[in-house]
Chain A
Amino acid sequence: MSTIISLPDQSTARIPKVNFITKENGLLSWLLTGDHKRIAMLYLASITFFFAIGGALAGLIRLELLTPQSDLMATDTYNKVFTMHGVVMIFLFLVPSVPATLGNFLIPIMIGAKDLALPKINLLSWYLYVAGGIMVLYTMAAGGVDTGWTFTTPLSTHYLNTNVLSTGIAIFIAGFSSIFTGLNFIVTIHKMRAPGMTWFRLPLFVWSHYAASILMVLGTPVLAIALVLVILERTMGIGVFDAAKGGDPILFQHLFWFYSHPAVYIMILPGMGVISEVISTFSRKRVFGYTAVAFSSVAIAVFGFFVWEHHMFIMGVSTYSTLVFSLLTMLVAVPSAIKIFNWSFTLYKGSITFETPMLYAFGFMGLFTIGGLTGVFLGTTGTDIHLTETYFIVAHFHFVMVGGMLMAFLAGIHFWWPKMTGRMYPEKISQLAALITFIGFNFTFFPQFILGTLGMPRRYAAYPAEFQVLNVFSTAGATILGVGYLLPILYLTWSLRYGEIAGNNPWQATGLEWQIQSPPLTENFAEIPIVDHDAYDYDWLERKHVHEREVTSV
């Protein structure tokens, strides 16, 4: 198989002595760092930890669902397990995954800056994340919570005596971590671009992070106030969500989904940014319709705020308002379609190679297309009646979040691993892992579409026996998927020490991050670059190489 990997001569290659990792030593130098790259590494370690916890909980869920009866655990235990799975995966993994790790690491470098605009706020956001994480761990240790990650009132306010308060506080804190990350990105992208780095020379990765950041800044506080009101309702009984006192429990859902629908765009948009970078690099081509892809990100961010009620179509909201929200949902589906087609046509007349990040990107495109299209089923008012609150929605959500976001995250981690660590991951085994993940994923979640259509409700610890076969398929698939996720953790750790030296630009990619040493210097650039070319300009790269060769030969 032909490849574009170009590594330096391994016998003479060295990791640069001075880089952001070796600059200072000691735990304290990490814990008090202002360096966006180190904070990204801190984030990477902590979200991997929480991903492992969330993954283990997912394993328990699938094991329980192997049989129709609730025999592995009692129903309330099962309820706690899926609640904690949701809370951990969404608030502690998916929301910060790409932005806080890859975004943190790359955005300043991609725009030619030395750091994010507000390094201290960046560090603060990591500490808030950790504080939120510790609260979640405390919640689990104290016996968990069983509200479901959606905290539906009045169940969460009056009918449960599990640790709703600590979970609410945890999410509140983690939410502020996400607000600070988003705020930092927006400021950085506006104010810190290198000379010549105009808006339309920005890599699409930066565009999609910009769009996601808008959602983080404007959406998250509404979740925060919804949680504050839940906490006040529980502690004081102010009645805002209490039907007995004249409150409307549906109001909570309005406030909750005002954040939590845009939140799925917060999760998926950065992933889309990764895919743009990967597909361009491995087909050696400028992204087809750069402006369309850039603006579709912003369109998703804007329209994302107008569609939240599609989570509530059957909940007794006004039938007339469902029309508006359903129509707007259709509009927000279009930018995603635009992106998929533009990525497909980026391949056209390219020169394509199939390294691991590209395989993950292909996986993303396939799974995200399914996830997106099934989203239209749920955004259409008529079919939503039958499909909502069943396994269809579970499958849809996991296709977008796990099939989409997690694939993109893994694509990005593999793609920038050489930049972050200076070493390559092992190519063959990682391609295998990508394949295993893809197969395992489909085995796990595709049967759930059929289960949902058949009517199996979500969040059931026990279910009618006729659904067992498909559930067994799903659980079997989950074990394959588990292997697919375990492998990267193992071989990436291995490669930290034994991986091949990557050199500055193993992929021959055009981004500014590839023109500096790997791992980068603490200040990223020895001198601030002056940008004189568009993103994904492979001719420029070619000219640069020719120029460099001339210089060396002289």
Chain B
Amino acid sequence: MSAPHQTHGHTQTENGNEHGEHLHIVPPRIYIIVGTTLLIFTAITVWASYLELGVFNPVIALFIACLKATIVVLFFMHVKYSSKLTKLTVGAGLFTFLTLIAMTLADYFTRAWGRW
């Protein structure tokens, strides 16, 4: 959760840190690399879906999707260059998202238990 972190104890210094975030300008070179990588990954994921890989088909598809999403978050959305607070926020969102999915599925996957 985005429980407050000790390092954010002092607003003054916190603002000082955050200030740097806005001064960091990501050069277009990185955007071009990232954009190209994303397009290449898209091609790979389409190609991979035509291979016969059994259970690994969805695994690979989701893995590539996660990879793409991570790249977008880190570079396009500047999280790599952002404050701890932003990183924590992203983490909190991911955590709750996974909680919703995992704990709901926990019900569905164990319904058949005990009937053997």
Smallest CB separation, B7 vs chain A (Å):
10
Partner of A254, one of B6, B10, B104, B113: B104
* Cβ–Cβ contact B4 & A318, under 8 A: no
Q: CB distance B11 to A318 under 8 Å?
A: no
Given the complex, which residues of A lie within 8 Å of B3, measured CB to CB? 298, 302
Q: Which residues of B contact A250 (CB under 8 A)?
A: 107
Q: What residues on B are CB-neighbors of A191 within 8 Å?
A: 11, 14-15
Across-interface contacts of A420 in B (CB, < 8 A): none
The verdict on B116 contacting chain A, using a C-beta distance below 8 Å, is: no
**Closest chain A CB from B12 CB (angstroms):** 6
Q: A218 an interface residue at 8 Å Cβ cutoff?
A: yes
Tell me if A318 and B113 are in contact (CB < 8 A): yes
C-alpha spacing A198/B11, complex, angstroms: 7
| In the complex, chain A residues whose CB is within 8 Å of the CB of B1 | 214, 298, 301-302
- A254 to chain B: which residues have CB within 8 Å? 104, 107
In the complex, B32 has a CB within 8 A of chain A? no
B73 at the A interface (CB under 8 A): no
**Cβ of A85 under 8 Å from chain B:** no
Range, interface on chain A:
20 to 34
Could you say which of B2, B9, B12, B109 contacts A199, with CB atoms under 8 Å apart?
B9
Please measure, in the bound complex, the distance between the C-alpha atom of A320 and the C-alpha atom of B113, giving whole angstroms: 8
Any B CB within 8 A of the CB of A321: yes
CB B14 to nearest CB in A, in angstroms, measures 8
The interface residues of chain A lying within 8 Å CB-to-CB of B93 are: 218
A191→B8 CA distance, assembly (Å): 9
- In the assembled complex, A305 has its CB within 8 A of some CB on chain B: yes
Q: Enumerate chain A residues within 8 angstroms of B106, measured Cβ to Cβ.
A: 318, 321, 324
Contacts of B94-110 to chain A: CB distance below 8 A: 96, 99-100, 103-104, 106-110
Q: Which of B99, B103, B107 has the most CB of A within 10 A?
A: B107
A322 to B2 CA separation, bound complex (whole angstroms)? 27
* CB contact under 8 A between A321 and B110, given known A218-B92, A218-B96, A298-B1: yes
**CB-contact partner of B114 in A186, A320, A324, A325, under 8 A:** A320
- On whether the beta carbons of A186 and B2 are closer than 8 Å, the reply is yes
Query: Is A277 in the interface zone, CB < 8 Å from B?
Result: no
> Which of B2, B10, B99, B109: most chain A CB closer than 10 A?
B2
Q: Given A198-B10, A199-B9, check contact A309 B96 (CB 8 Å).
A: no
Question: A16 interface residue, CB < 8 Å from B?
Answer: no
Closest residue of chain B to A324 (Cβ to Cβ) is: B106
What residue of chain A has the Cβ atom nearest to residue B106's Cβ? A321
A195 to B109, CA, bound (A): 51
Provide the bound-state CA to CA distance between A199 and B8, in Å: 8
- The reply to whether B8 and A318 contact each other, CB–CB distance below 8 Å, is no
List chain B residues, Cβ under 8 A from A186: 2
Q: Are A320 and B110 in contact (CB under 8 A)?
A: yes
- Tell me the complex Cα distance, A309–B106, Å: 11
Contact residues, A51-86 vs B (CB, 8 A)? none
Contact A305 to B85, CB < 8 A, known contacts A318-B111, A319-B114? no
Given A199-B4, A214-B2, A301-B1, verify A306-B113 contact (CB < 8 Å).
no
Output the least CB separation between B47 and chain A (Å): 32
Residue from A193, A255, A317, A324 in contact with B111 in the complex, judged by beta carbons closer than 8 Å? A317
Whether A222 touches B85, Cβ cut-off 8 Å, given contacts A317-B107, A317-B111, A318-B110, is no
Closest A residue to B10 using CB positions: A198
For the complex of A and B, the 4 pairs showing the least CB-CB separation, nearest first, are A318-B110, A320-B110, A318-B111, A321-B107
Chain B residues with a Cβ under 8 A of chain A: 1-4, 6, 8-12, 14-15, 85, 92-93, 96, 99-100, 103-104, 106-111, 113-114
